[in-house]
Chains A and B, each alone.
Chain A
Amino acid sequence: MNERVRFYQTGSFAVRNRLLPVVDASVQSDPGRSNAITSGHRACQGCGEALGARYALDAAMRAADGRVVAVNATGCLEVFSTPYPETSWQIPWLHSLFGNAPAVASGVAAALRVRGREDIRVVAQAGDGGTVDIGMGPLSGMFERNDDVLFICYDNEAYMNTGVQRSGATPPGARTMTTQAVGPHPGAPFGQGKDLPRIAMAHEIPYVATATVADLRDLEAKVTTAMALRGARYLHVLVPCPLGWGTPGHDTIRVARLATESGLFPVFEAHHGEITTVTPIRRRVPVTDYLRVQKRYAHLFGDPPATAEIARIQEQADRTIRRYGITEVTV
């Protein structure tokens, strides 16, 4: 565990923009960075969650000067990271149950506060199932008490660990094993699902932000911002799942980028319930560009295509763009 790890890409231009000054370079490019989640874990090839968690936690570690405790809900991240006797966690890490990570984190934070160890920061993490569904009650409680916890949801839009079943974060039309691509209304029903970042904002907690693995520098920056604040903070990270979405492992970043560029996934920050920044779209694309590359939407593009459903998804993207006032970058 104390073995010095050499990161072969760090310090090179492979993981940072060579035009940026070193101080602005990503945490991952720093040869002195922590290694919160070390290699050898059992995540699938191209796993968005493994990538997002590594960037998020190493950024948190830098911000907290190496003093981070992680609480983890049951799920892919928990299972693939701890095939004991091997563990990927180079930081203190506690897994209790599927639905209780926010409450466990509240307890950890309370213990650290009472022990005068508020220098140690608490990060709790869960997938979308552990966040928007089974963990929602404790999460809302943690928010309203404003406990000093950064909660990160790695949203891959279904229960992937159990074999791709619908969650409250599964988007309309998406095929899962419990919303199959059969019958007159294939895929997940329209008019359902939760928007947890907005629910989090309704608690008026100090910080709510969204990010995707398509912009890892942005993810790091948001973790850094969150870590500079105290109280309940929520970060919602879109992490494509090659297995569940039916995308090639090498397309994870591309799919995440299409999610934002189509307008379906807004990237923003909010302080105390008030939106403070919204990331513009560099090159807006129709939702079909995003949907077509994923097998979970393949039934929408049959013969004949499901034009009505596709139009509804496009309306959803348009509405999101209007709601957040997302602008397009003009180059």
Chain B
Amino acid sequence: MRQQIEGSQAVARTVAACRPQVICAYPISPQTHIVETLSRLVQSGALTGCEYLNVDSEFAAMSAAIGASAAGARTYTATASQGLLYMVEAVYNASGLGLPIVMTVANRAIGAPINIWNDHSDAMSQRDSGWIQLYAEDNQHAADLHVQAYRLAEEVSLPVMVCMDGFILTHAVEEVEVPDAEQVDAFLPPYDPRQVLDPDEPVSIGAMVGPEAFLEVRYLAHLRQMQALATIPRIAADFAAVTGRHRDGLVSRYRMEDADLVVVALGSVLGTLKDTVDSLRDEGLPVGVLGITSFRPFPLAAVGEALAHTSRVLVLEKSLAVGIGGAVSSNVRTALAARPVPTTTVIAGLGGRPILRSSLDTVIRGTLAGEVPDLFFLDLKTDLVEREVARMRAARRSGPAAENILRDVAGVGDPHAVGRPR
């Protein structure tokens, strides 16, 4: 049934339709509405056969998920930002053990400075964690990806992170057809674990592995992700057969025909990009958009093929790889290794900074004209940066940078004062 529904609730109801047996919940904005809704569904009896654990931290959430999954239960958790970082040790452990946990990451910035708004810093920090990472473009996509995530995770025995932009998607009310239990049942078979803690067939899981076999175990993790490159499109096609909703599982192409410049991006910003490109196309500018849904495994071949005829690439990134620029760009450049083309990295939307159509329009035109540097920070307020740099140059004890900049933004305090009164 199509309905106007908040993204978090759409995801929660979709997850419920997947019949998770153990849900590990710990609050953190902006994913809280998801676990709140699931709590209500379990407590009211709408979702049966499910244990809902209110745990004491994200580290405990992922750890409990590990235990539940290893004991043969379909398992779900959700987190964001600091929460994802707090559970990192267990995140790597879950993938190392090959446990098919599904986790929603409601993408949010990482502090310091503390910031609750959207960007991709959290999920990007886990790109090498061994988890499959799928990025949702809109709330329908987010809901649908969760069903596919369970099928994928259980088929390849790897955990899957479904990344959806915090607030922009989680808190947005839009039209979504929430997959119902019948559709999900037709698509998602019951969980049949590859390994399980069973007194009738006792196994040891989690033994120490030394130099004699560690490489091989790690290689196997890579191999399974490479296999997932073929599994993801097949699952997307199967899902389309059940629901009638088809999206390419790995990448999405928009107005790529004869595009001289392709903008590559992940997540909800694709919508704004498509609108921007539409108006540029109306003017006859040859611009297209390539969305990456599967960031891990990274679809090198699909990206390389999609960009085979373009002469310039702009990668729009919602996270900053400090010290080099962009993580997505590095991956896109690898996909272009056989036919390198100029690639511009544009860092945008950090900490919830709105990515405006007008800004995108300007940077795309500038890139077409060859006027944008290889690494560009969209809508960077250079005057604020320069003032803080000047303060740091003027005095050793220039004080906390974030707070100085906030004072400048608010226009309070003496802009010429440096340091603190002694």
Contacts and interface: CB of A to CB of B under 8 A. Distances in A.
Interface stretch (B45-53, B312-320, B348-356): B45-53
B206 A92 contact: no
Given A100-B59, A100-B60, A106-B67, A114 B204 contact: no
A72 to B, nearest CB: 8
Contacts of A96: 63, 66-67, 90, 93, 97, 206
B55 interface: yes
Nearest to A101: B63
A62 interface: no
B205 A108 contact: no
Given A69-B71, A79-B208, A137-B57, A97 B90 contact: yes
B71 A140 contact: no
Given A93-B202, A94-B197, A103 B63 contact: yes
Contacts of A82: 204, 206-208
Interface in A235-264: none
Contacts of B24: 107
Nearest to B48: A114
Contact of A111 (B60, B72, B89, B208): B72
Residue of A84, A92, A140 contacting most chain B CB atoms (<10 Å)? A92
Nearest to A87: B204
Contact of B60 (A89, A94, A110, A137): A137
B54 interface: yes
A104 B51 contact: no
Interface in A27-74: 66-69, 71-72
Interface string B56-78: 11011101111111111101000
Contact of A68 (B57, B60, B199): B199
A174 to B, nearest CB: 28
Chain B contact patch, size range? 35 or more
A91 interface: yes
Contact of A84 (B53, B61, B208): B208
Contact of B199 (A66, A108, A115): A66
B309 to A, nearest CB: 48
A138 interface: yes
Nearest to A82: B207
Contacts of A83: 208
B199 A91 contact: yes
Contact of A114 (B65, B73, B209): B73
A115 B72 contact: yes
B197 A108 contact: yes
Contacts of A84: 204, 207-209
5 contacts: A95-B205, A95-B207, A106-B64, A110-B64, A138-B55
Interface in B201-215: 201-209
B283 interface: no
Contacts of A104: 63-64, 66-67, 70
A167 B32 CA distance: 36
Contacts of A103: 55-56, 59-61, 63-64, 67
Given A97-B90, A141-B60, 5 more contacts: A79-B208, A107-B22, A110-B53, A114-B21, A114-B51
Nearest to B57: A137
Interface residues of A, number: 45
A138 B62 CA distance: 11
B202 to A, nearest CB: 4
B207 A87 contact: yes
A212 B89 CA distance: 33
B202 A1 contact: yes
A106 B71 contact: no
A79 B202 CA distance: 18
B403 interface: no
B414 interface: no
A1 B199 CA distance: 12
A107 B73 CA distance: 9
B282 interface: no
B198 interface: yes
Contact of A106 (B53, B70, B75, B203): B53
Contacts of B54: 145
Contacts of A78: 206, 208
A107 B147 CA distance: 22
A44 to B, nearest CB: 17
Contacts of B66: 96, 100, 104, 107
A216 interface: no
Contacts of B57: 137-138, 141
A126 interface: no
Interface string A106-129: 111111111100001000000000
